[in-house]
Amino acid sequence: MLTATTFKRNVLDESNQGPAAELLQGTLTTLIDLALNLKQAHWNVVGPNFRSVHLQLDEIIVEVRAATDDIAERIVTIGIAPDGRSVTVSAESVLSEFPRNFHSVSDTIACVADQLKTSIDEIRKAIEQMGEVDPISEDLLISISSQLEKHLWMVQAQEVV
């Protein structure tokens, strides 16, 4: 349930406030889960080229965490309380459960690429709907998707074809 503030000067009219917040909230949930899953991969990757993948995952995590903060702050800016609680992320994330235990570099790369692709797909769905509702939020989503798409390219370029 969305909880609105009583700001006197809302940046969106009430008819767009809820729809924009819902789209952003879905992205927030996905990105929080993505960051957690990337950290799981970071801790448990083993094998040849371990170090470069380990470090690359940390670089991606930094950007994903910054994006979660940008999304949450945008939700607040439009007058709604964001929900980044673990119970919400667990219940609403579209990402598959990340495998537990140690994984080879190649398995880690494949899992991370899949998680990135799913996240990008979700953000692109939100972008398609956001244009009519809030172009500022749409721009934020486009920027985040662009960053993730670059990371997807760099991750999957390491897969053996």
Other Cβ atoms closer than 10 A to 158:
17
- pLDDT of 4 over the 70 cut: no
pLDDT-based confidence at residue 160 (cuts at 50, 70, 90): confident
Tens-place pLDDT, residues 21-61: 999 999 999 999 999 999 999 999 999 999 999 999 999 99
Tens-place pLDDT, residues 104-150: 999 999 999 999 999 999 999 999 999 989 999 999 999 999 999 99
Report which of 119, 100, 116, 96 is spatially closest to residue 156, judged by C-alpha positions. 116
Distance CA 157, CA 152 (A): 8
We find that the CATH architecture of domain 14-156 is Up-down Bundle (1.20)
Domain ranges within the chain, ordered by starting residue? 14-156
- Its pTM stands at 0.93
